[in-house]
Structure 1
Amino acid sequence: MASSRRMVFQRLDVAAFLSFFTYAAGSVVVPVALVALAADLGFPLDSGGMTAGGVLHLGRTLTMVGAMLFCGFAAGRWGQRRTFGWSVLLMALGLGLAALTPTYGVLLAAILLAGVGEGVVEGLATPFVQSLHAVEPGRYINIAHSFWSVGVFVTVLLSGALLSLGVSWRWLLAGIALLGIVPGALLLWPARGGALAAGSPPAVSWRRVVRQSVEILRLPRFWLFFTAMFLAGGGEFCLTFWSASYIQLYLNPAPWAGGVGTACVAAGMALGRSGWGYLIRQHHLHRLILGSALAGVAVTLCLPAVRTLGLFLVLLFLAGLATAPFWPSVQSRCADRLPQVDTTMLFILLSCAGVPGCGVLTWLMGVLGDGPVGLGRAFYLVPACYLILAGVIAWEGLLKATPRTPPAAAAPGGDGH
């Protein structure tokens, strides 16, 4: 009998949703405000500053990856929920310090600090939601990830409007830092009994965490999904990070125009993730990823040729719609295809591919934008990522399924939800 479409949410779901929202807001407020921020801090984008702008995200990526590699051990020692909650607050602290920065160097250091918190959030948020829902977790994961897109959408529209009104980018960063306190408090606030009980499981040995990681890394199929995550993350964040700057430099210099551009990407992603989260069945994730990748290739190939703002915005929305299912669906599909391994460590290791993909390809796009290629033609990186992603997912689908046996050990830091 077909399972019900009814979805049941609880307080910790709300905390995870708000964490994604805040994480997204902190990630995109810098690229939306990058033109004004760069001018204030002495690295204007129209005078060779695109590489410096890309370094901000690349440096953030490096600290995020380091934090993700550590977060499995932290979750094993203190529990997923507690580690998750304190990391949200650390992310907020870094953004607050970034709002006070007097120089580019101090800004970079603050972004690196925020990146530590963001890395743990990225590593634990998906397995945290998965642990809350044993039945069709892919639907809940897509819904949770839709709040990343909602956060992007709201932040870029509001930030673009406020910047156009003359509000300093510093106030925007400070506001997002304050917002981060809310999900942190929801995660850390003690509660009574049931699924909301404060998670304090017995400590998990670091040797067990290492053993679980090595078991995953030895599987050839895992590396196909690892590659897919790198490409998905890179394509997604190239669109998110550089679309606002491209619009302001080549189509319309107003900050609101850049904000609307990034908002179009986010709106497509929010609609796609929430819609697919409700409609898609777990056994159809493979078709969803493959079809979306091919659609994304067709749409993003057109971006560099567009010379009008309106058409560019429409294409950005369609690109966001095609991009929407990649990150959550690749992770959930991988968990289905590797049922014998620990899910928490699997999601952490997959995020260790997606986040570097975001950073490396965003940085590369900035380097190409500063060079003779130009930022317009650098957008061809996006369809290239999606085309290779489609090939990897198609190849993985031809492989024989892994026997469905339970993992040998419990997830590190699992809070029993």
Structure 2
Amino acid sequence: MKIKLTVLDFSVIAALLSYAASATVTPICLLAMAAELNFNLSASGGIEGMRSILIFASLFSGGFLASRVGKVRSLAGGLFGLSAGYAVYAAAPSYAAVLGASVLIGASCGILEGLINPLVQDLHSEDSGRYLNITNAAWSAGVLSTVLIAGELLTFGISWRLIMGFLSFFSLAAALFLTAVRKKEPRTQGLPPAKVIRLYIDCIRSKRFWVFCFMMLLAGGAEGAFTFWSASYIQIHFASLPRMGGIGTACFAAGMLTMRLISGIFVPQHKLRKMIFLSAAAGFVIAALIPFIHSQTLFFPALFASGVAIACFWPSIQSYAVYKIPHFDSTSAFILMSCAGIPGFGLVPFSMGIIGDMAGLEKSFLLIPPIFAVLAFTVIIEKSR
């Protein structure tokens, strides 16, 4: 079937661009921020850990908000909050203020994380795997543009505070766009809070659903590791400028962007499981080689290949789970699976920061190959069930 994007799909893309920037602008600005505000690698990982904790905490509210005011209005509110968080970031006088901004950004991103993919599922329920991969390519595009532009600006001496200020303005514009097109949202019946809770419980009671949640935990950990630490690793390990750190993370994002578009165009719903398994197997091999690459020229293609391997995990696991367990409410299932993936996205970078302080950032990348191996094994277990 031909891909047909609606105005709501484009508003989702704008929201994902802003959301993606929240995950990557801190890593690319990290060394400049740490030098100005005086904090170390463990504290740096704590910024992402705090953001992820708040995303996790606010995810559960998505189902109640969507039932009360609709997904589009809820997403617009999340973007308004994200804009405010970036503004606090830009004016932060200390590390404590940065953590405060992370709290506001994390709470807002939890709403975005919980409701963006369910909205795409509502719009394209018959072929959601393809549309989820295509729209989620905007996440990778956001990562790509953020690290390239921010890395270039930092190299030319532009303050990281101005970068945060621009992202605040962009998030505000995306929120206004969503508000303008809110009437295009498919009509759904509002549910009382008790019904929303019952839908959550239905998912939680399923043993098979927990297998998909575990897969999301591993997928989030693998993606978070490369997204957060690639730029700093390049700057520290290869003694490079912020520009090169941005280019390295951009290579990873470009790999994700490329594979998500390919998956959306060519991979049908019933082939999602096979794609997830092959990607995990390839990711294990690539990640196992990365700590032993001592040439910056070779490191960039390795990051691109890592992005290709990781690209399909987040949208495809969610779509595959709803496809295999169709009696679940898709919004509840997507939110709860994101609740599993977000801790991995935050805790793995945090753990790598601790290992980096103790044994060097190079050693911390040895944490990634086992994640791919366990994910591939879990896909096999899910099939056997």
Please classify the TM superposition score into its range, dividing by the shorter chain length: over 0.9
**Aligned mate of 2:178, from 169, 187, 201:** 187
> Alpha-carbon deviation of 1:185?
1.3
Match of 2:209 in 1: 222
> Alpha-carbon deviation of 1:383?
1.2
> Alpha-carbon deviation of 1:30?
0.5
Match of 1:37 in 2: 33
Match of 1:77 in 2: 68
**Aligned mate of 2:345, from 355, 358, 362:** 358
**Aligned mate of 1:287, from 264, 274, 285:** 274
Match of 2:331 in 1: 344
> Alpha-carbon deviation of 1:191?
6.2
Number of residue pairs aligned between Structure 1 and Structure 2:
385
The one-letter code sitting in structure 2 at the alignment partner of 1:64 is: I
Match of 1:411 in 2: none
Between the aligned partners of 1:227 and 1:200, the Cα distance in structure 2 is 32
Post-superposition Cα deviations, 1:21-75, rounded to whole Å, max 9, x if no partner, equal 11101210110010011000011xxxxx110001101111111111101111111
> Alpha-carbon deviation of 1:160?
0.7
Between the aligned partners of 1:127 and 1:191, the Cα distance in structure 2 is 15
Match of 2:85 in 1: 94
The one-letter code sitting in structure 2 at the alignment partner of 1:42 is: N
Post-superposition Cα deviations, 1:183-210, rounded to whole Å, max 9, x if no partner, equal 2112111566xxx15x775531111011
Match of 1:306 in 2: 293
Match of 2:164 in 1: 173
**Aligned mate of 1:389, from 371, 375, 383:** 375
Q: 1:201 to 1:397 in 2, by over 3 A?
A: closer
Unaligned runs of 5+ in 1: 44-48, 400-417
Post-superposition Cα deviations, 1:152-191, rounded to whole Å, max 9, x if no partner, equal 0011011111100000001111111111122211211156
Aligned-residue sequence identity (percent) comes to 37
1:209 corresponds to 2:209 = no
* 8 Å contact kept, 1:26–1:173: no
**Aligned mate of 1:238, from 195, 207, 225:** 225
Between the aligned partners of 2:384 and 2:358, the Cα distance in structure 1 is 40
Unaligned runs of 5+ in 2: none
The one-letter code sitting in structure 2 at the alignment partner of 1:28 is: T
1:325 corresponds to 2:312 = yes
> Alpha-carbon deviation of 1:134?
2.6
* 8 Å contact kept, 1:235–1:386: yes
Q: How does 1:260-279 map to 2 (within 5 A)?
A: 260-279=247-266
The one-letter code sitting in structure 2 at the alignment partner of 1:92 is: S
The one-letter code sitting in structure 1 at the alignment partner of 2:381 is: W
The one-letter code sitting in structure 2 at the alignment partner of 1:55 is: G
> Alpha-carbon deviation of 1:384?
1.0
Between the aligned partners of 1:35 and 1:240, the Cα distance in structure 2 is 15
Q: Which moved more, 1:97-106 or 1:73-82?
A: 73-82
* 8 Å contact kept, 1:78–1:201: no
SS where residue 149 of structure 2 aligns? helix
Between the aligned partners of 1:241 and 1:226, the Cα distance in structure 2 is 22
* 8 Å contact kept, 1:31–1:241: yes
1:145 corresponds to 2:132 = no
Between the aligned partners of 1:132 and 1:228, the Cα distance in structure 2 is 25
* 8 Å contact kept, 1:37–1:169: yes
Match of 1:7 in 2: 3
The one-letter code sitting in structure 2 at the alignment partner of 1:23 is: Y
Between the aligned partners of 1:154 and 1:112, the Cα distance in structure 2 is 24
Query: Which runs of structure 1 show a deviation greater than 2 angstroms over 4 or more consecutive aligned residues?
Result: 199-203
1:50 corresponds to 2:80 = no
* 8 Å contact kept, 1:57–1:362: yes
The one-letter code sitting in structure 2 at the alignment partner of 1:26 is: S
The one-letter code sitting in structure 2 at the alignment partner of 1:36 is: A
Match of 1:156 in 2: 147
SS where residue 262 of structure 2 aligns? helix
Between the aligned partners of 2:356 and 2:41, the Cα distance in structure 1 is 7
Between the aligned partners of 2:201 and 2:104, the Cα distance in structure 1 is 28
TM-score, structure 1 length as denominator? 0.91
* 8 Å contact kept, 1:87–1:118: yes
> Alpha-carbon deviation of 1:77?
1.1
Match of 1:377 in 2: 363
Q: 1:20 to 1:190 in 2, by over 3 A?
A: closer
Between the aligned partners of 1:167 and 1:76, the Cα distance in structure 2 is 43
* 8 Å contact kept, 1:16–1:183: no
* 8 Å contact kept, 2:72–2:182: no
> Alpha-carbon deviation of 1:111?
1.2
* 8 Å contact kept, 1:78–1:200: no
1:22 corresponds to 2:8 = no
Q: Counting helix residues as a fraction of each chain, which structure ranks higher?
A: 2
The one-letter code sitting in structure 2 at the alignment partner of 1:324 is: A
Between the aligned partners of 1:277 and 1:181, the Cα distance in structure 2 is 29
SS where residue 379 of structure 1 aligns? helix
